[in-house]
Amino acid sequence: MTTLKKLTHKQWFAVLVLVIGIIIIWYIAALVMNGNQMINMLERTGQSWTYTQIFEGAYGIQRPPLPVPHQVAYELYDSIFNNAITSKRSLLYHTQITLNSTLLGFILGSLLGIIIAIGIVHNRTLDTSLMPWVIASQTVPILAIAPIVVVVLGSMNLTGILPKAIISMYLSFFPVVIGMVKGLRSADKLHTELMITYNASTQQMFWKLRWFSAQPYLFASLKIGIAAALVGAIVAELPTGAQGGLGARLLSGSYYGQTVQIWSALVMSALLGWVLITLVGLAERFILLRRGIS
């Protein structure tokens, strides 16, 4: 009894209980949804059916409305281990395509964001003229025009990962600008005044003080930015159809009603997003721990 009470205070236990609960609900929902579809199909052909028959068949039908976790897990296993990585049937092949454009877009977007933030912090005119547009740029549903950007750049002979990376860049620069502007301005007032009494130049002020005060903010922004970059890369892949990537996988799955394929692409993209954010988090810990903060 006491061990159970102790367990309820542990975070991993709470998460585990919730996840198990979700999986149980998932199986029940799948039974209802898939079973209904089976009943409809059998009645249309005029066959008789029993509930035990439905119960046994519900988890094994082709193209189920809601695939159950073990089907998705098997599909993931099958496409990763039973195919060569270079084969188009392998999910890893598509993941790597998406990963490439995500990373390129993320790096470009972060650099752009940092440069804009430095400009905004050091130049009052840029601050008043550009900052409102940086914020307004995110109320524009840019993701919706991602396919066009890909098509337009494609007609200018820019194909491959660059058009997708540009979408990712557009999505990921925003959190970096906001975070960096806040961070560069968050330098301790006492430190700033000390630097002024040392007659430090703007450059020295930047490299010796502001850059360091901005780092915690930068990493918080990078985590949001890389998640946004992944979303951008996936949506940008929607119109490229057969060329590959997790987004193309989603689209072809929805065209052909391959629900298991959609779900496994979805699970893969979730995993990818989680891994990317964890990696940024590790870099943050490594760098900030060396400085003795966080």
Partner 1 sequence: MKTLLTLLAITLLLLQSGIALFLPKGFYQGTFLLPLLLLSLFAAGYLMSRMTQIADGQSQWAKPCKLAVPALFGLMILLVWEAIVRGFDVPLVLMPAPTQVFVTLGNNLPLLWADFQQTYLKAVVAGYVMGCGLGFITAKLVVRNAFLQKGLLPLGNFMASIPIIGIAPIMVMWFGFDWQSKAAVVVIMTFFPMLINTLAGLRSVDPLHADLMYTYAAGKGQIFFKNQLPQAMPFIFNALKLNSTLALIGAIVAEFFGTPIVGMGFRISAEVGRMNMDMVWATIFVAALAGSLSYGALALLERRVTFWHPSVRSGR
- Closer to partner 1 by CB, 39 or 153: give it: 153
Long-range own/partner contacts, residues 221-224 (CB < 8 A, 24 or more apart):
221/113, 221/175, 221/176, 221/178, 221/179, 221/180, 222/110, 222/176, 222/280, 222/284, 223/277, 223/280, 223/281, 223/284, 224/175, 224/179
Nearest to 191 by CA among 209, 218, 214: 209
Tell me: does residue 105 bind partner 1 (CB under 8 A). Answer: no
189 near partner 1, judged by CB under 8 A: no
Residues numbered 14-53 forming contacts with partner 1, rule: CB under 8 A:
14-15, 17-19
Torsion angle of the four alpha carbons 87, 89, 94, 95, in this order, in degrees rounded to the nearest 10: -100
3-state DSSP helix/strand/coil percent for the chain, to nearest 5?
Answer: 80, 0, 20
Number of residues in contact with partner 1, rule: CB under 8 A?
56
Q: Least CB distance from residue 57 to partner 1, whole Å?
A: 20
Q: Is 138 in the site for partner 1 (CB under 8 A)?
A: yes
Q: Look at the chain and count its residues.
A: 294
Site for partner 1 in 198-257 (CB under 8 A): 223, 227, 230-231, 234-235, 238-239, 246-247, 250-251, 253-254, 257
| Distance in Å, CB of 28 to partner 1, minimum | 16
Neighbour count for residue 107 (Cβ, 10 Å): 16
Q: Which is nearer to partner 1, 51 or 133 (CB)?
A: 133
- 17 vs 283, which CB is nearer to partner 1? 17
Q: Does 124 participate in binding partner 1 (rule CB under 8 A)?
A: yes
**CA–CA gap between residue 239 and residue 155 (Å, rounded):** 14
Residue ranges binding partner 1 (CB under 8 A): 8, 11, 14-15, 17-19, 65, 124-125, 127-133, 136, 138-141, 143-145, 147-148, 151-152, 155-156, 223, 227, 230-231, 234-235, 238-239, 246-247, 250-251, 253-254, 257, 259, 262-263, 265-266, 269-270, 273-274, 277
